[in-house]
Structure 1
Amino acid sequence: MASPTDREILPDTIKPINYDLSLFNLEYGGKWSYDGLVKIDSKVKGDTQELVINSKELEISGADVLSKDGGLPITSMTDVSYDTTKERATIKFSANIPAGDAVIAIKYKGTINNAMAGFYRSKYKPVVTPASGTPTDGEHHYMFSTQFEACEARRAFPCFDEPNLKASFEFEVEIPDDLVALSNMPEKRVTKGSKDGLKKVAFEKTPAMSTYLAAWAIGDFEHVEAFTERKYNGKNLPVRVYTTRGLKEQGRFALEHAHKTIDYFSEVFGIDYPLPKSDLLAVHEFAMGAMENWGLVTYRTTAVLFDEEKSDARFQNRVAYVVAHELAHQWFGNLVTMDWWNELWLNEGFATWVGWLAVDHLHPEWKVWSQFVAEAVQTALELDSLRASHPIEVPVRNALEVDQIFDHISYLKGSSVIRMLSNHLGQEVFLKGVGDYLKIHAYGNARTNDLWAALSAASGQDVQAFMDPWIRKIGFPVVTVAEEPGQITLRQSRYLTTGDVKPEEDETTWWIPVGLKTGTPAKVVHSALTVKEDTVRDVDESFYKINADQSGFYRTNYPPQRLLKLGESQDRLSIEDKIGLLGDATSLAISGSGTTAALLSLLEGFREEKDFLVWSQIATSLSKVRAVFAENKEISEGLKKFSLKLFSPAAEATGWEFPKDEEWLTGQSRKLLLAYAAGAGHQGIIAEGKKKFAAWKGGDEKAIHQNLRGVIFNLAVANGGQEEYDTIKAEFKKTTSVDGREISIQALGRSKNPDHAWDLLEFVTSEEVPPQDAHGGILAVAANNGTRRVAWEFTKKNWERVEKRLGVTNVVIDRWIKTGLPKYSDTAIRDDIAEFFKDKNTAAFNRSLVIVSDTITGNASYKQRDEARLLEWLKSHGYA
């Protein structure tokens, strides 16, 4: 665990208490600049003649130290120097700053950049005539907003940019009369600006908070509004979704979820929402999914907007979850903040789990915990089974390294172990402990052990003892089952996807909730495996399953005959059980502890399956196998036939129609089954899809149901030529649907023509496509077994272009590497990637390069080991 001495942090001679920040002289068009004045109420420890403060791409022109009452300067700046590597400015003063209270006033000039970080501009094409004061460069119009996490507040104003240096904020900005300014708190006053056509908007003072949570936005905004049902300080809180003009009605779905979610969290945490308002803002260019700024949450458009008439229904689930995740942070992260970035998981893992908890509360019919097991748990297990993984709580010496740990370990493994702990303690006890933790540390900072202490007190159990290995050790266990009459032996060992664990990598002993489901009718017996090997007695040999409902974060390796029996006992398995069983069998085939033949035999037993989320896991498992063996033509054709036979009955039964008021999961199931059957070559479905595409292309907009755009666009491009490709490319450029660009890019990547794949990657790295959308292009190309070699070839030959266009922010370029390059099964490509990057600056994605290398190594050894056996099985079963 990183202690303060292990961190590169600012000197502790000056601590901020309050920031009073004013922005003015905002220049639009060519300059994109502004002037700033920040007055920092500070506590000064001992006499010092210099101030070291975080500053990035700012030009400091003057600084004065004023007495606490803000009177005449005590001392003024004589010199300023910048350390661009550490992103710091050192301001020297003419005399010592006396110990005690002081106000440090700094004048500076900043840039409204286009890097999706700091104080930045987003370009967009208005859907209605914008207000005359809207910034424009002639071709595009602009809105301004902020993104300060992790270390980008220093790009907007000089500050003490570390999470445990909390201070309150007052903010004022001068903007055109007809625009709207937003910030963390409500407006305090609006006054006349320095010249005609301008106004000054000042906001109320915030509570003490970390710099990364400060936020503001300026633009041609409008909003929809609702109020909480609960009263806070005697009032129903206003909740608003803001958009650029013409889009506000698409914010209603998020709005309805937001005010209900605020009430729900206030209830389950036992602490009222702490601010007087909650705003949600749709931002046109956004690197992440959303950002939890206190009182002003910012979102990528597809994570907050939903058009009942045009949007694919799958985005309802996404919007509901992202809204809940960010609102969870208003307590867990904002009210109580991690002490340092090594405990990022405390913010993200918890907000992920509790975000799904809120969605489950609002939409029990969506079965989101089954979705969580299919998506979050399986994805986390996959990444954590690599040597290149990292512990949930990872040491961070320099905060500038933190971007790469905003990953599936922090979010998804973090939330998976929290779910495991909540299931063990009981949700009511768990949430009581969380509420106690929030009350004890409100408006301050806390560490992982502080959470464990509150949960231990609430539950009467030593939570830290059994959670420490899960948080502080790398990886997770596989529990191998050996059968004897009436009993089973369980052995735990570290699991690696490459199947080659060394003794020194297998020293951790995890606390493992066994959750034995057994008997008729099946009941769950709770116990824990706390040693390397143990025996469980009184096991019904006719049926048992370990890790009931997949609540533990581990893989289970059954004897081959037991695996087949479990496949035949589906009536006793929950949806989560089935997903876990299939996920484990797939992973164990890859690592060599199981075989692909055993996996396919298991899958054959699921032909009658009715649940969407189980089909989703089946599709994921098959896609993984098909990708690894894609370049063996005989196996590839055999797996295609297998997939077709497995999916066809369910796909044919589901049909193309979306009845009114159909259950959300049924609609999602229809899309998945039709898409996978088409991808496996179902000629009837392909023909019907092409027919609908031709009618739509001919001008009949109703020919394609809004939920089937992805399915039909994909199959049209995959089974078409230049005309279909060009049609979807044009659709990307002209679509007015909030999800249209994402759907179009995925479809363009389905073309079997390598020239189209190359063109798509050129397109998504051009000025025409916002950097945030680029990784969708390489992801689609890399996931296409026919064109995936283009992903690396393009990246290598056009590295300068990729780096220049996507390197505007670490998040975007890192995503390009980690989504586009791990899909190969060829060690020559792995070595080529390593050779190419050895003399490049890879600071933004060096962790992802190790993940790429490990993944390809695992895929290659799996392919080599199982190729002959798999072909033999496919031949003996009539698929090859």
Structure 2
Amino acid sequence: MALDRDILPDSIKPLNYNLSLYNLQFSGDWTYDGTVKIASKVQKETDEMVVNVKDLKIIGASVGDASSSSMKDVSYDEKNQRATIKLSDKLKTGETSLSITFQGSMNDKMAGFYRARYKPVIEAAAGTPKDGEHHYMFSTQFEACDARRAFPCFDEPNLKASFEFDIEIPEKLVALSNMPEKSTSKGGASGLKKVSFEKSPVMSTYLYAWAVGDFTYVEAHTERKYNGKNLPVRVYTTRGLEEQGRFALEHAHKTIDYFSDIFDIEYPLPKSDLLAVHEFAMGAMENWGLVTYRTTAVLFDEENSDARYKQRVAYVVAHELAHQWFGNLVTMDWWSELWLNEGFATWVGWLAVDHLHPEWKVWSTFVAEGYQTALSLDSLRSSHPIEVPVKSALDVDQIFDAISYLKGSSVIRMLSSHLSNEIFLKGVSTYLKAHSYGNATTDDLWLALSGASGQDVKAFMDPWIRKIGHPVVTIAEEPGQITLRQSRFLKSGDGKAEEDETLWWVPVGLKTGEPVKVIHSALQQKEDTIREVDDEFYKINAEQNGFYRTNYPPQRLVKLAAALEKLSTEDRVGLIGDASALAISGDATTPALLSFIEGFQGEQSYVVWAQISASLSKVRSVFSDNKQISNALKKFSLKLCSPAAERIGWDFAPDEDYLTGMLRKLLLAMAAGAGHEGIISTGKQKFEAWKGGDNKAINQNLRATVFNMASANGGKDEYEAIKNEYRKTTSTDGKEICLVAMGRNKDPALARDLLNFVLSDEVSVQDCHNGPMAVAGNNDTQGEIWKFVQSEWDGKLTKVRSSATVVLDRWIKTGLNQFSEREIGQEIQAFFKDKDTAGFDRSLSQVSDNIEANAGYKERDEKVVLEWLKANGYT
């Protein structure tokens, strides 16, 4: 075994899987039987087969024809999820066929081959499994290590093989897999059929997929021809929801053509299917040729859905289709290089959305959301490098996080900006062509990009990938010049010398002069001086392309606030985000942040207002226990946003653009949250009219805003009305909106009711974290989550603990990160000391770091914040 990873013995290498599933039991214990024939290359003589299995029972095994060698014994290593099959005779080197019969179950854990509950919107087809009001569809989720839950296999990313598949199902149901259907024949019993699929290209086990259900679809074709044909692209849903797939469909076929062009490699499979899955732990999964999605990530109802879900659907569709090349055609060699898949797919997903919707200005949204989220997580000691060492694949789930996705995509954006998108994509194309149908490493990508650019990419990018953290660039001013110094940025503000040894390549991107020009250079040492700087105006990190914080002298922030017209949207977002982060760390102050934000009263960009809102929410959360500060900050927020909120109003123009609609929702919510009586009153009136039966009283794009407003300013009646809407709504995004709104209520008793409700059978496991997220962000009720976790850890929370660790992880991260009291941090550590924290131990460390940083921030700035608010008339 390799020293740096815990992998299977290298005596057998799979070449092809031929998998048959039959005897599917659609009730009771939900079992199925299977036979998998694995064409293999025996590389070393051996008398045993070691394969990955989890929750499977191996019935028998043989090699070649049954007389050659058969199973003598089987033993299971449950901890490492392996089975060792002892054979009657030794296997000789060369090619052979291994055959394993087994039994598995269609579980309810959203992993492996699993069942997903739903309530049909129209009558389901005969034979659709059901249990009372709930019906079932079946799907797979194999990433990272759950193919082994469905069939015995060699479940490692670089053990690629081709796949053939057939399955026996009820006649009226539909089966899907990675490849097109090859044939359908009669099943082994009346009312059953056997569906077989074409042989796939070689791929990793985690990309294999199939699904069974009462599916219908909408279809389009690529505009571009592939092997002389326009490829079929379909969005599948359970019966009755298919028309909600049209928005995703239109983006899917255009995105496939776009990626085929920019990668200079044609989409490799003969079809592309997208499937909406009713219970789904993640957002989506890039199975080759059969991408699976959470319903809110692929379905959009033009008449009833909130427009903000359009961008989500367009992006998630693009992200998963990007994987068809970057991840599927070329796969990372091992899980430590997960970022190669996820960081790239995130960046190029936004690139595709920007190509299709330039009016959405998605890169400024990325800077306000993805980039800031990555910087925040990466400012903790418990962060990890983008390329994080992974010894056991079973430890990989927790690195599907903001570092792999968002820091990874942020440093790719930084690199592509430096090289130019054209040269960057040329290098990517070279990389993909060189490693097609194989595996690759980060160094392989650097080599291809170096060849395309003529620069030593590995030399200046490796610290960004292999080292933890990011720098803050601190600026000192002298007439006509500035001195830049880089050091590691920690949210806690207490970095030690031994934590500040990394030397990053930092693209400076200096904006200065009149007219404004951008001067490109790089800080490649701890400190350097830049001359010929205009004292009247300058800003570094143009367009926020570099992944770092900037600490300006206080008087420079004042000057920048007076020169906002010279700054791009990304620049303005970056300045606010930096000022906020530096206040938390103690490198700057909250009064400096508030003074800077005061200058944005006339701001018109949705994205900038979103960053202002996020920064103010953080300040209000940390100081929420101090009622004098809390009330003064509400007045500050009200004065800041009221003119803009009143100006934009409640009414949507018929031809209004997407970003204006988003700005309206945000400003109305900000003003209501700050106590704007007129806006709250109008919101209440709309809610009461809706509650009275007027379904048109609330514009579909303001449903979340009004529900949140009514809940936050109401009581049990409003809460129960929204809960009832949760039970009735058929809108794909409606349930999510309702759960979040219920969490805005300020009554702790109703917060506890919501926490109990989301763990009831009425709420699917995939959605049960939405309510707690809202409760955690509610300053009046956030403490209820910690109380609930303590009291129900061995009670109602066992539902989540036993079925979906990824959802439990969200409870921990979103529910406990908000506290600013060290005592609570100590309580949390003590509570989990003797618990099994596998699957969320990294998140617990992040919670601890965040609480410590919040506590330090509160202790340091509480007095000066109050003094500033008093001096400026807010108390």
- TM-score with structure 2 setting the length: 0.99
Q: 1:840-851 maps to which residues of 2 (within 5 A)?
A: 840-851=835-846
Q: 1:780-859 maps to which residues of 2 (within 5 A)?
A: 780-807=774-801, 808-859=803-854
Count of residues in Structure 1 that have an aligned counterpart in Structure 2 = 874
Distance, in Å, in 2 between the alignment partners of 1:73 and 1:730 is: 64
Distance, in Å, in 1 between the alignment partners of 2:863 and 2:132 is: 62
Distance, in Å, in 2 between the alignment partners of 1:317 and 1:428 is: 25
Q: Counterpart in 2 of 1:513?
A: 507
Distance, in Å, in 2 between the alignment partners of 1:813 and 1:207 is: 36
Q: After alignment, is 500-509 or 187-196 more displaced?
A: 187-196
Aligned 8 A contact 2:511 2:519 in 1: yes
1:659, distance to aligned residue in structure 2 (A) = 1.5
- 1:221 aligned to 215, 221, 227, which one? 215
Q: Counterpart in 1 of 2:34?
A: 36
The residue identity in structure 2 corresponding to 1:840 is K
Alignment of 1:645 with 2:643, yes or no, is no
Q: 1:583-598 maps to which residues of 2 (within 5 A)?
A: 583-598=577-592
Distance, in Å, in 1 between the alignment partners of 2:204 and 2:509 is: 41
Distance, in Å, in 1 between the alignment partners of 2:569 and 2:715 is: 40
1:138, distance to aligned residue in structure 2 (A) = 2.8
Aligned 8 A contact 2:759 2:797 in 1: no
Q: 1:215-294 maps to which residues of 2 (within 5 A)?
A: 215-294=209-288
Q: Counterpart in 1 of 2:159?
A: 165
Question: 1:702 is paired with a residue of what secondary structure?
Answer: coil
Question: 2:528 is paired with a residue of what secondary structure?
Answer: strand
Q: Counterpart in 2 of 1:117?
A: 111
Distance, in Å, in 1 between the alignment partners of 2:868 and 2:85 is: 72
- 1:729 aligned to 719, 723, 730, which one? 723
1:140, distance to aligned residue in structure 2 (A) = 1.1
Aligned 8 A contact 2:17 2:161 in 1: yes
Aligned 8 A contact 1:497 1:590 in 2: yes
Aligned 8 A contact 1:168 1:205 in 2: yes
The residue identity in structure 2 corresponding to 1:106 is I
Q: Counterpart in 2 of 1:332?
A: 326
Could you give the per-residue CA deviations for residues 154-210 of structure 1, whole angstroms, max 9, x where no partner exists? Answer: 000000000000000000000111110000000011111112211110000000000
Could you give the per-residue CA deviations for residues 527-586 of structure 1, whole angstroms, max 9, x where no partner exists? Answer: 000000000000000100010000000000000000110111001000000000000000
- 2:11 aligned to 3, 10, 13, which one? 13
Aligned 8 A contact 2:757 2:763 in 1: yes
* Structure 2, gaps ≥5 residues long: none
Distance, in Å, in 1 between the alignment partners of 2:529 and 2:583 is: 25
The residue identity in structure 2 corresponding to 1:101 is E
Aligned 8 A contact 1:765 1:801 in 2: no
Distance, in Å, in 1 between the alignment partners of 2:514 and 2:290 is: 53
Distance, in Å, in 2 between the alignment partners of 1:730 and 1:627 is: 30
1:809, distance to aligned residue in structure 2 (A) = 2.2
Question: 2:24 is paired with a residue of what secondary structure?
Answer: strand
Q: 1:383-782 maps to which residues of 2 (within 5 A)?
A: 383-782=377-776
Aligned 8 A contact 1:390 1:475 in 2: yes
1:495, distance to aligned residue in structure 2 (A) = 0.3
1:803, distance to aligned residue in structure 2 (A) = 4.0
Aligned 8 A contact 1:766 1:805 in 2: no
Distance, in Å, in 1 between the alignment partners of 2:814 and 2:205 is: 31
Q: Counterpart in 1 of 2:46?
A: 48
Aligned 8 A contact 2:33 2:102 in 1: yes
Q: Counterpart in 2 of 1:24?
A: 22
Distance, in Å, in 2 between the alignment partners of 1:839 and 1:766 is: 27
Distance, in Å, in 1 between the alignment partners of 2:426 and 2:380 is: 35
Aligned 8 A contact 1:775 1:820 in 2: no
CA RMSD for the aligned pairs? 0.7
Distance, in Å, in 2 between the alignment partners of 1:348 and 1:181 is: 28
1:72, distance to aligned residue in structure 2 (A) = 4.6
Distance, in Å, in 1 between the alignment partners of 2:429 and 2:25 is: 46
Aligned 8 A contact 2:276 2:299 in 1: yes
Question: 1:240 is paired with a residue of what secondary structure?
Answer: strand
Distance, in Å, in 2 between the alignment partners of 1:239 and 1:211 is: 23
Distance, in Å, in 1 between the alignment partners of 2:720 and 2:189 is: 50
Distance, in Å, in 2 between the alignment partners of 1:662 and 1:4 is: 58
- 1:187 aligned to 181, 186, 202, which one? 181
1:139, distance to aligned residue in structure 2 (A) = 3.1
* Structure 1, gaps ≥5 residues long: none
Distance, in Å, in 1 between the alignment partners of 2:796 and 2:410 is: 34
1:47, distance to aligned residue in structure 2 (A) = 1.9
1:802, distance to aligned residue in structure 2 (A) = 4.8
Question: 2:131 is paired with a residue of what secondary structure?
Answer: coil
Question: 1:800 is paired with a residue of what secondary structure?
Answer: coil
Over the matched positions of the two proteins, sequence identity in percent amounts to: 70
- 2:205 aligned to 200, 211, 218, which one? 211
1:774, distance to aligned residue in structure 2 (A) = 1.4
Distance, in Å, in 1 between the alignment partners of 2:44 and 2:139 is: 38
The residue identity in structure 2 corresponding to 1:54 is N
1:136, distance to aligned residue in structure 2 (A) = 1.1
Question: 1:701 is paired with a residue of what secondary structure?
Answer: coil
The residue identity in structure 2 corresponding to 1:687 is S
The residue identity in structure 2 corresponding to 1:569 is A
Q: Counterpart in 1 of 2:855?
A: 860
The residue identity in structure 2 corresponding to 1:60 is I
Question: 1:200 is paired with a residue of what secondary structure?
Answer: strand
1:349, distance to aligned residue in structure 2 (A) = 0.3
- 1:60 aligned to 58, 65, 88, which one? 58
Q: After alignment, is 286-295 or 795-804 more displaced?
A: 795-804
Aligned 8 A contact 2:765 2:804 in 1: no
Aligned 8 A contact 2:327 2:341 in 1: yes
Question: 2:59 is paired with a residue of what secondary structure?
Answer: strand
Aligned 8 A contact 2:162 2:203 in 1: yes
Q: 1:336-351 maps to which residues of 2 (within 5 A)?
A: 336-351=330-345
Question: 1:396 is paired with a residue of what secondary structure?
Answer: coil
Question: 1:27 is paired with a residue of what secondary structure?
Answer: coil
Distance, in Å, in 2 between the alignment partners of 1:739 and 1:573 is: 36
Aligned 8 A contact 1:21 1:172 in 2: yes
Distance, in Å, in 2 between the alignment partners of 1:647 and 1:76 is: 75
Q: After alignment, is 251-260 or 784-793 more displaced?
A: 784-793
Distance, in Å, in 2 between the alignment partners of 1:809 and 1:44 is: 37
Q: Counterpart in 1 of 2:865?
A: 870
The residue identity in structure 2 corresponding to 1:149 is E
Distance, in Å, in 2 between the alignment partners of 1:505 and 1:818 is: 25
Aligned 8 A contact 2:813 2:847 in 1: yes
The residue identity in structure 1 corresponding to 2:143 is E
Could you give the per-residue CA deviations for residues 806-857 of structure 1, whole angstroms, max 9, x where no partner exists? Answer: 1212211111111111000000100000000000000110000000000000
Distance, in Å, in 2 between the alignment partners of 1:393 and 1:73 is: 47
Aligned 8 A contact 1:825 1:863 in 2: yes
Distance, in Å, in 2 between the alignment partners of 1:235 and 1:223 is: 20
1:777, distance to aligned residue in structure 2 (A) = 1.3
The residue identity in structure 2 corresponding to 1:279 is D
Distance, in Å, in 2 between the alignment partners of 1:58 and 1:777 is: 34
Question: 1:450 is paired with a residue of what secondary structure?
Answer: helix
Distance, in Å, in 2 between the alignment partners of 1:208 and 1:759 is: 50
The residue identity in structure 2 corresponding to 1:703 is A
Aligned 8 A contact 2:789 2:797 in 1: no
Q: After alignment, is 145-154 or 768-777 more displaced?
A: 768-777
Aligned 8 A contact 1:64 1:77 in 2: yes
